[in-house]
């Protein structure tokens, strides 16, 4: 669908004639949705948007902390909403999107319930405990759901819990647990999640196939590993700088092998190119700044960035063309 | 698509009388959106360093507004020539993009120095400069950039003219006008798409940014200290804006139905118009919901996954910003969101009755 769309739009840009209009040609090629696709889209759109907005409304309501509602009324309300969200799960089952969307809403509202417990009883628990217990409580639902957004919510909660844990104890045990340790930890967790996700997806777990989720995780991993590499490049006194550069190079190498040779995903490769541009630019700035960052250094760095991005774009387009040919040969 | 499969698609369309003439040679079909995002980021980086170079090596440009604007205009002109002469070279295009951004920064610097706190003049001039660059430079990435800058400057201009309350409606109408006409003039489809993406990115930025950023205090616009009377009372502006947003949503629904050859009075037709009307009404207190839904629906309708994805990201960004919106109480916002959510879920139940799966083909797929 996307390929036919791109091809026809490319023809349009080159001045090809469309006697009955471009839209008609797009429709005939299957690039635009038909009536049944529209019906399915409308149904899914209303279901997911309705669930998202209703759940957000409930969270806003809890945050408002309305005085007119007593403690028990508030608990009753939120618990009733969690149960109400679970009813469609029982009714539709987890095979249908409606059931999964309802389970997602229940998982979010459960977090609201836990926050309400903390808000009402002032338990003295740290914020990270809220997110950690939230992630722990919804884990059984996540495991049975086979629903990508719910898994992403769970991974987000784990990341937030770890970051808040660091914020709480990082100051106390700063020597043992500096800010870069958090980056290492999150990188390890997210890389493991990415490896499991794409590994299982590649071995045939159908519901893991959509690419948006691993791309989001890969973006997080790329940002973390690039930040570590920037620390190493910009601070020459770091004891761990060699390890950080080695991990950055290793991560890029592994990403190239996996996303070029096994699962072709140009999004991750493009992210890798951006990471290289950022780190090499930081290295240049650091090296040139030793003798004062002169006007020539500004110009040279600017031209180097242009050169790297032009070379990266050329390489990515070449890989894209090769991947297209490979795909079509298989087809 | 290989020459052969592109060829078979051409043959299929030619057989149906939908294309005519010789099949054009394969162009650039291997550049997904994230390649362009990469080029955009790299262009920013490079422009930052080039601007630093110009600032240090040619100090005069930073001391005089006129010199800065003249040098900036010359850089933009050089970029336009380079884009035209070497459109097929990655290095030349990336270099042209970076020097154009450098030139734009110098023009903006000059305009800022010349007009100081006169926000109305500054924003209108930025819109004009970006519109000119959009018309003169045909590179797709550059056009997206110009459209984004022009749209954001236009939002600031609406704020400066005390017309900020109109923004959601005007933005929705501009988005609908651009995207619904994407296929109208085939040779200009690329320009329409660049404008559409620019507007969509601007919508994302607008929805994620707190309103106070767009509405500067009147004193800042009028150094004399005289308060400027609003051209339109905010409440009236909000009403007009909702009407514009509703018109954009209804027009989108009408266009989709016409394109699918579905009768307005048929069950699917009534269902789609009903959903559009419902969204328009429900967007009264949360206009971001209407704008993002427009992006999502048009993205789906045009087989444009990146645009639909941008709609989803814009919706999540809007919800995260909506929480902190000061003009509406948290209780009101929560009730409003729950109301919209529940209405949409009920609408889905109604849809299953009005437009069941067995009626899928009734509207025709012609």
Mean pLDDT in chain B? 86
ipTM given for this complex: 0.82
For A317, the closest chain B residue by CA position comes to: B30
**Cβ–Cβ < 8 Å for A60, B333:** yes
pLDDT band at B90 (very low <50, low <70, confident <90, very high): confident
DSSP SS3 for B20: strand
Radius of gyration of chain B (CA): 23
Give the residue from A226, A229, A247, A249 showing the smallest Cα distance to A238. Answer: A229
What does the pLDDT read at residue B29? 63
From B221's Cα to the closest Cα of chain A, the distance in A is: 36
CB A184 within 8 A of CB A144: no
Task: Name the B residues in 196-255 with CB < 8 Å from any A CB.
Answer: none
Nearest CA in chain A to B362: A35
The residue whose two tokens read 């080695």 is A246
Q: Give the SS3 label for residue A17.
A: strand
Most confident segment among A205-209, A278-282, A289-293: A278-282
Residues 6+ apart with CB under 8 A from A276: A252, A308, A312
Say what the pLDDT of residue A175 is.
47
Q: Would the pLDDT of B358 be above 80?
A: no
Q: How far apart are CA B302 and CA A37, in angstroms?
A: 12
- Residue A165 CA, chain-centre distance (Å), reads 21
Shortest Cα distance, chain A CAs vs residue B235, angstroms: 24
Of B16, B34, B361, the CB nearest to A267: B34
Which contiguous run of DSSP H or E holds residue A264? none
C-alpha B251/C-alpha B246 separation (Å) is: 8
Q: How distant is the alpha carbon of residue A160 from its chain centre? A: 14
Burial class (CB within 10 angstroms; exposed 0-12, middle 13-18, buried 19+) of A173: exposed
Closest Cα of chain B to A322: distance in Å?
10
HSE (side-chain half, CA atoms, 13 Å) at B276: 26
Nearest CA in chain B to A60: B334
Q: Tell whether B261 lies on the interface with A, counting CB pairs under 8 A.
A: no
B231 pLDDT band, cuts 50/70/90, is low
**Between residues B261 and B101, which one has the greater pLDDT?**
B101
Distance CA B47, CA A84 (A): 54
d(Cα B97, Cα A232) in Å, to the nearest integer? Answer: 31
Query: Given a cut of 80, is residue B204 above it in pLDDT?
Result: yes
Model confidence, pTM? 0.87
Measure the CA–CA gap between B215 and B167, rounded to whole angstroms: 11
Answer whether A14 touches B (CB < 8 Å). Answer: yes
Mutation target for A interface from B5, B28, B45: give the one with most A CBs within 10 A: B45
Could you give phi then psi for residue A17, rounded to 5 degrees?
A: -90, 135
User: What is the least distance, in Å, from the CA of A38 to any CA of chain B?
Assistant: 8
Classify A16 as helix, strand or coil.
coil
Question: Which one, of B152, B175, B203, lies nearest residue B310 by Cα?
Answer: B203
Q: A308, A280 in Cβ contact below 8 A? A: yes
Q: Is A316's CB within 8 Å of B9's CB?
A: no
What pLDDT was estimated at residue A331? 65
* pLDDT confidence of residue A196: 95
Q: What is the pLDDT of residues A132-166, one digit of tens each?
A: 999 999 999 999 999 999 999 999 999 999 999 88
| pLDDT attached to residue B196 | 97
- Write down the H helix ranges in chain A: 2-13, 22-28, 35-64, 71-92, 97-121, 127-145, 148-169, 179-202, 212-234, 241-256, 266-289, 295-330
The Cα of B27 is separated from the nearest Cα of chain A by a number of Å equal to 6
pLDDT of residue A312: 94
In the predicted model, is pLDDT for residue A63 greater than 90?
A: no
Q: What is the Cα B273 distance to its own chain's centre? A: 24
Distance, in Å, from the CA atom of B1 to the CA atom of B148, rounded to the nearest integer, reads: 31
Mutation target for A interface from B19, B187, B260: give the one with most A CBs within 10 A: B19
A63-92 residues touching B, CB cutoff 8 A? 63-64, 66
Instruction: Name the band, by pLDDT with cuts 50, 70 and 90, for residue A259.
Output: very high
pLDDT average, residue stretch A238-250: 90
Q: CB-hemisphere CA count at 13 Å for A88?
A: 19
Burial class (CB in 10 A: 0-12, 13-18, 19+), A25: buried
Q: How far apart are CA B184 and CA B181, in angstroms?
A: 5
Cβ pairs bridging A and B (under 8 Å): 300
Rounded to an integer, what distance in angstroms lies between the CA atom of residue A171 and that of residue A215? 33
Average pLDDT over residues B187-214: 92
Residue B233 clears pLDDT 50, i.e. is over it:
yes
**Is the separation of the CB atoms in B140 and B35 below 8 Å?**
no
User: pLDDT, tens digit, for every residue of B53-80?
Assistant: 888 888 777 788 899 999 999 999 999 9
What is the least distance, in Å, from the CA of A272 to any CA of chain B? Answer: 10
**DSSP strand E in chain B: where?**
none
DSSP of A226-243, one letter per residue? Answer: HHHHHHHHH-TT-TTHHH
Tens digits of residue pLDDT in B279-289: 888 888 888 99
A12–B9: do the CB atoms touch at under 8 Å?
no
> Are the C-beta atoms of B282 and B342 separated by less than 8 Å?
no
For residues B116 and B101, what is the distance between their CA atoms, to the nearest angstrom? 21
Angle, CA of B339, B343 and B347, to the nearest 5°: 175
For position B3, what pLDDT does the model report? 46
Nearest Cα residue in chain A from B343:
A50
Q: Give residue A83's pLDDT.
A: 94
CA dist A113 and A84 (Å) reads: 14
Residue A2 confidence (pLDDT) above 80: no
Sign of CA pseudo-dihedral A7, A13, A16, A17: positive
pLDDT for residue B72: 94
Q: B325 and B333 in contact (C-beta within 8 Å)? A: yes
pLDDT of residue B16: 86
Q: By CB neighbour count within 10 A (0-12 exposed, 13-18 middle, 19+ buried), where does A307 fall?
A: middle
A299 to B43: CB separation less than 8 angstroms, yes or no: no
Beta-carbon neighbour count of residue A142 at 10 Å? Answer: 20
Surface of A (250-289) touching B: CB under 8 A? 266-267, 270-271, 273-274, 277-278, 281
Whether B145 shows a pLDDT value over 80: the answer reads yes
- Distance from C-alpha of B135 to C-alpha of B194, rounded to nearest angstrom: 11
Quick check: B356 pLDDT over 60? yes
Chain A nearest-CA distance from B302, in A, is: 6
Residues from chain A that touch B13, judged by Cβ atoms under 8 A, are 8, 25, 28-29
Quick one: tokens of A309? 């991005």
B312 touches chain A (CB under 8 A): no
The answer to whether B300 and A41 have CB atoms below 8 angstroms apart is: yes
Residue of B16, B75, B83, B183 to mutate for A, most A C-beta atoms under 10 A: B183
Checking if the pLDDT of B95 tops 80, the result is: yes
The pLDDT of residue B362: 41
Alpha carbons B307 and B248: distance in angstroms, whole number = 17
Tens-place pLDDT, residues A87-102: 999 998 998 988 999 9
Nearest to A12 by CA among B290, B19, B323, B171: B19
Distance from the Cα of residue B280 to its chain's centroid:
19
Q: Which two tokens stand for residue B119?
A: 């926000």
* CA B128/CA A269 separation, integer angstroms: 37
Contacts of A39 in chain B (CB under 8 A): 268, 355, 357, 359-360
Report chain B residues whose CB lies below 8 A from the CB of A9.
189-190, 193
Give contacts of A 122-151 with B, CB under 8 A.
Answer: none
Mind giving me the DSSP string for A137-155? HHHHHHHHH--HHHHHHHH
The pLDDT tens digits of the residues spanning B266-318 come to 888 888 888 899 888 888 888 899 999 999 999 999 999 999 999 999 999 99
Contacts of B210 (CB under 8 A, 6+ apart): B321, B324, B325
* Whole-number Å distance between alpha carbons of A164 and A169: 9
> Are residues B42 and A24, on separate chains, in Cβ contact within 8 Å?
no
State the Cα torsion B152-B155-B160-B164 to the nearest 10°. -160
For residue A177, what pLDDT is reported?
Answer: 54
Q: What is the mean pLDDT of residues A309-319?
A: 92
Rg (CA), chain A: 25
- The residue ranking higher by pLDDT, B223 or A188, is A188
* Confidence at A1, pLDDT banded by 50, 70, 90: low
Q: Is B258 on the interface with A (CB under 8 A)?
A: no
Question: Do B339 and A44 contact (CB within 8 A), yes or no?
Answer: no
Q: Cβ neighbours of residue B181 under 8 Å, at least 6 residues apart?
A: B192
Taking the C-alpha atoms of residue A286 and residue A69, their distance in angstroms, rounded to an integer, is 59
The yes-or-no verdict on residue A189 having pLDDT over 70 is yes
% chain A with pLDDT above 90: 51
Reported as a pLDDT band with limits 50, 70 and 90, residue B260 is: confident
**Smallest Cα distance from A174 to chain B, Å:** 32
């Amino acid at each position: 669908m996307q390929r036919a769309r791109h091809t026809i739009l490319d023809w349009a840009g080159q001045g090809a004639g469309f006697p009955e209009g471009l839209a008609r040609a797009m429709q005939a090629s299957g690039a635009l949705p038909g009536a049944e696709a529209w019906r399915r889209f409308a149904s899914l759109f209303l279901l997911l948007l309705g669930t998202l907005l209703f759940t957000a409304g409930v969270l806003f309501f809890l945050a408002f902390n309305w005085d007119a509602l007593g403690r028990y009324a508030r608990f009753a309300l939120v618990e009733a909403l969690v149960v109400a969200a679970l009813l469609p799960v029982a009714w539709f089952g987890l095979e249908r999107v409606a059931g999964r969307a309802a389970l997602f809403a229940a998982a979010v509202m459960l977090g609201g319930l836990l926050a309400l417990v903390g808000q009402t009883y002032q338990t003295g628990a740290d914020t990270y405990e809220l997110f950690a217990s939230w992630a722990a409580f919804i884990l059984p639902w996540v495991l049975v759901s086979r629903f990508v957004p719910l898994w992403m919510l769970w991974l987000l909660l784990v990341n937030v819990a770890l970051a808040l844990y660091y914020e709480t104890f990082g100051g106390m045990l700063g020597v043992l647990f500096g800010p870069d340790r958090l980056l290492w930890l999150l990188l390890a967790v997210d890389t493991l999640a990415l490896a499991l996700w794409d590994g299982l997806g590649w071995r045939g777990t159908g519901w893991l196939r959509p690419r948006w989720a691993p791309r989001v995780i890969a973006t997080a991993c790329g940002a973390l590993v690039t930040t570590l590499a920037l620390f190493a490049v910009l601070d020459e006194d770091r004891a761990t700088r060699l390890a950080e550069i080695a991990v950055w190079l290793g991560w890029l190498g592994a990403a190239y092998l996996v996303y070029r040779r096994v699962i072709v995903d140009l999004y991750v490769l493009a992210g890798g190119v951006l990471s290289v541009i950022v780190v090499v630019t930081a290295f240049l700035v650091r090296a040139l700044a030793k003798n004062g960052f002169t006007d020539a250094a500004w110009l040279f760095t600017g031209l180097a960035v242009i050169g790297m991005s032009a070379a990266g774009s050329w390489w990515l387009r070449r890989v894209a063309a090769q991947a297209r040919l490979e795909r079509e040969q298989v087809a | 698509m290989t020459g052969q499969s592109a060829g078979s698609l051409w043959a299929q369309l030619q057989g149906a009388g939908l294309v005519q003439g010789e099949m054009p040679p394969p162009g650039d079909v291997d550049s997904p959106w994230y390649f362009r995002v990469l080029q955009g980021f790299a262009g920013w980086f490079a422009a930052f360093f080039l601007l630093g170079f110009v600032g240090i090596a040619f100090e005069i440009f930073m001391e005089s507004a006129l010199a800065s604007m003249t040098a900036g205009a010359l850089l933009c002109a050089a970029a336009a020539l380079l884009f035209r002469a070497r459109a097929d070279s990655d290095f030349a295009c990336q270099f042209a993009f970076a020097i154009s951004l450098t030139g734009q920064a110098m023009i903006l610097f000059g305009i800022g120095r010349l007009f100081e706190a006169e926000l109305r003049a500054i924003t209108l001039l930025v819109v004009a400069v970006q519109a000119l660059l959009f018309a003169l430079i045909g590179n797709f990435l550059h056009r997206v950039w110009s459209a984004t800058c022009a749209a954001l400057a236009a939002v600031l201009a609406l704020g400066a003219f005390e017309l900020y309350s109109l923004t959601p409606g005007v933005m929705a109408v501009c988005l609908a006008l651009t995207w619904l006409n994407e296929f109208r003039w085939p040779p200009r489809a690329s320009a329409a798409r660049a404008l559409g993406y620019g507007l969509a990115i601007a919508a994302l930025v607008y929805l994620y940014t707190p309103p106070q950023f767009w509405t500067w205090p009147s004193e800042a616009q009028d150094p004399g200290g005289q308060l400027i009377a609003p051209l339109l009372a905010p409440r009236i502006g909000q009403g007009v804006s909702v009407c514009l947003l509703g018109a954009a949503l209804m027009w989108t629904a009408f266009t989709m139905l016409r394109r699918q050859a579905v009768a307005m009075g048929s069950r699917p037709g009534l269902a789609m118009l009903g959903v559009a009307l419902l969204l328009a009404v429900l967007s009264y207190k949360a206009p971001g919901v209407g704008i993002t839904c427009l992006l999502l629906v048009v993205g789906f309708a045009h087989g444009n996954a990146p645009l639909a994805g941008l709609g989803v990201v814009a919706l999540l960004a809007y919800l995260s910003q909506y929480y902190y919106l000061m003009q509406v109480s948290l209780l009101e916002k929560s009730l409003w969101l729950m109301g919209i959510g529940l209405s949409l879920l009920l609408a889905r139940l109604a849809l299953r009755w009005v437009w069941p799966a067995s009626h899928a083909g009734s509207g025709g797929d012609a």
